[in-house]
A and B are shown apart, each in its own frame.
Chain A
Amino acid sequence: MSGTVNELPRVAFFDFTSCEGCQLTVLDALQTHPELLKVVNIVEFREASSARSEDYQIAFIEGSCTRPGDEARLRKIRETAVYVIALGACAHLGGINAIRNRQPLPDVRQYVYGDKAEWYDTYPARAISQVIEVDAVIPGCPIDRDEFVRIVSVLLQGRQPKLPDYPMCIECKLHENICVFERGQVCLGPITRAGCNAICPAYGYGCEGCRGLVSAPNMESFQEVLAQHGLNQAEIDEKLSLFLTNQTLLEKELVHG
């Protein structure tokens, strides 16, 4: 599938509160898969190009919404685009920006900006889907390059992309990694959605859950496992806070609220 530039799907990239590492991963993906440039027309990508456009069909959004002023910009993107994709953990989950959601906001602002806190607008970090409807998600911190290419291909074929709905542990076993728990550390693999090829355990570090929870995770049983490995409740909450703050807070509300 290819055609003249004008016939190609018009794609735009937007960034909110984030490190822009997922857009960099997209640039890397365009380097290793230059054929993508033959099937889409990138009309806006601020980090890499000074071209700008308000006419696009597919919008990728990186970053969390962390201030009221960003909501209007998000709604504009939603009105313009046919298809909106949350790119990476900040957009998908609130990402690490949501760590601070566990602390009282006035305290957080005062801690960083002192008596000038009022100069800088902010509110608790939200996933994009908490502000506008999102059609698909590319999870991860950062996103996985191969998964990005696969999902874009699926979208261009007019199909709805599907993410693996089994825990990361399955990929870790297929890789024949030594279990992180066996090495005396803890790992969120049992409750985290697979699709990253277990890259963190493969490099000697336990999963932090950046791809979000698998559907219907057994949180109670998993917390027992963490307790058996010596974590108290505060340490368990801490472990779940890096990427899963918003999801586990919601989970708590669902279970106890």
Chain B
Amino acid sequence: MANVKVNVHHLTRVEGHGNIVVDVVNGELKQCDLQIVETPRFFEAMLRGKPYQNASHITSRICGICAVGHATASLRASEMALGVELSEQTKLLRRLNFLGELLDSHVLHAYMLIAPDFLGVPSVIPLANTAPDVVLRALRLKKLAGDLCQAIAGRHTHPIAMVVGGFSHFPTANQLYELRARFEAARADVVATADLFQTLKLPQFERETEYIALRRDDGVYGFIDGDIVSTDNGRWPISAYQSVTNEYLVPHSSAKHAQNQRESYMVGALARFNVNHDLLHPVAKEVAAGLGLKPKATNPYLITVAQGVEIAHCVEEAIQLIDALLAREIAWEDPALPTRESGEGVGACEVPRGTLFHHYVIEDGQIVGSNCIIPTGQNLANIELDMKALVPTMLDRTQQQITHALEMLVRAYDPCISCSTHLLDVKFE
């Protein structure tokens, strides 16, 4: 086929509004855009003049799926700015809460947004009749993740008890025992999830790129804090994030694009696997081996498989963290206090879709400058380059097949478009 026109208006089963536009004339690729048509959100402007204590509650509203992630990055930015030292209990609870959200989001993506493509249905809803065990398993895992976040912070979307310096509410030991039992039972669901992933026939498409993720040097799989690490070599402190993200505006997207050492880079579960695979829990390593996932993996459709590996990791690490919390007994401690009322700080964490940065300047307790850099924004340039490499390999297929392959590619990145369209220029006054 010499001429191809793909125009997917408001791609479905993704978070937020995006269009895929491809135009091939006489075998030549004229246009290949992932248009981000989400309305601008203006969060940085909304934070201006707000007390720093409000920032995590405002920015968790950037995204319903990664609300805990935004709250975590926001709290870390304020804490870095104001010299807040966290207690061991706070670190454990933050991480446990974070794993809950990661599990929830990965299960949502793998089972409800991706699986319908492979099973030939428009959504997960018809599967309730045809494959009830699959749907019930997804619901069970999601409910477990949601109940974990609820026990710690009141709810997953949008967390209440997460505050600068710690928490305003704590789970009881009984809640933790009950959750632990359910996480143990979830090990069977992890095995079944890996088995399901075995059956997915992912498109063969390799395109190596730069993979970037946070990495910690204490042997813990990097989700919160650490350094920014690239598979193209390079390690930067979180405070130097702007020399990695190098954002720029393009007219067809209300979300900024990013590039580091190549034309584009990838963040997210597959990038984390490529950077941090040695730090995965042994059970997660087994799952990866069973699914044939090896570093450095360069097929973007494998992002979903890497999420499956992280589902296994989350379940195992959640059990470890609950044990650590039960062994020390939960104390109703007051949040750690700031040591100053003015300062500048960057917080970073690995939300489900990749590295998230919040950067605040605080003066006398008020936010005077802010910048948020979102994973999907960092991935956009990489997705477009994947599309540009993929389309010429498919010109002999039907328009419908090409469209479906492109939709699946974009969905594999699990784009969170609401998140990505509020970012942009840092301006510190």
Q: Mark A99-112, 1 if CB is under 8 A from B, else 0.
A: 11001000111011
Q: B359 on the interface (CB 8 Å rule)?
A: no
Residue from B41, B160, B163 in contact with A97 in the complex, judged by beta carbons closer than 8 Å: B41
Write out the residue numbers on chain A whose beta carbons fall within 8 Å of the beta carbon of B51. 238
Asked if A50 CB lies within 8 Å of chain B CBs, one says yes
Nearest CB to that of B140 among chain A residues? Answer: A31
Q: Is B112 engaged at the interface, CB distance under 8 Å to the other chain?
A: yes
Q: For residues 397 through 429 of chain B, which have their beta carbon under 8 Å from a beta carbon of chain A?
A: 418, 422-425, 427
Query: Chain A interface: which size bin?
Result: 35 or more
Question: What 0/1 readout, one digit per residue, does chain B (107-127) give for beta carbons within 8 Å of chain A?
Answer: 010001100100000111100
Contact of B418 among A20, A109, A114, A242 (CB under 8 A): A20
Contact (A21, B112) CB under 8 Å given A48-B123, A70-B39: no
Query: Of B12, B125, B146, B153, which one neighbours A37 at CB under 8 angstroms?
Result: B125
Q: In which size bucket is the chain B interface? A: 35 or more
How many angstroms between the C-alpha atoms of A46 and B10 in the bound complex?
8
B64 touches A24 (CB 8 A): yes
B42 located at the interface, meaning its Cβ lies under 8 Å from any Cβ of chain A in the complex? yes
Q: CA separation between A16 and B10, bound complex, in Å?
A: 12
Beyond A20-B15, A47-B13, whether A25 also contacts B157 by CB under 8 A is: yes
Q: Which of B40, B42, B427 has the most CB of A within 10 A?
A: B42
Query: Which A residues are in CB contact (< 8 Å) with B163?
Result: 204-205
- Quick check: is B154 within 8 A (CB to CB) of the other chain? yes
Task: Tell whether, in the assembled complex, residue A112 and residue B425 are in contact, meaning their CB atoms are under 8 Å apart.
Answer: yes
Does any Cβ of A come within 8 Å of B305's Cβ?
no
Stretch among A115-123, A147-155, A166-174, A246-254 lining the B interface? A115-123
B41 touches A17 (CB 8 A): yes
Residues of chain B with a CB closer than 8 A to A112's CB: 40, 42, 44-45, 422-425
Not counting A95-B61, A122-B42, a sample of 8 additional A-B residue pairs whose C-beta atoms are within 8 angstroms of each other reads A17-B38, A21-B65, A42-B125, A47-B13, A48-B112, A51-B122, A142-B157, A204-B161
Give the interface of B toward A (CB within 8 A). Answer: 10, 12-17, 38-42, 44-46, 48-51, 54, 57-58, 61-65, 67, 108, 112-113, 116, 122-125, 128, 139, 142-143, 146, 153-155, 157-158, 160-161, 163, 167-169, 249, 251, 254, 418, 422-425, 427
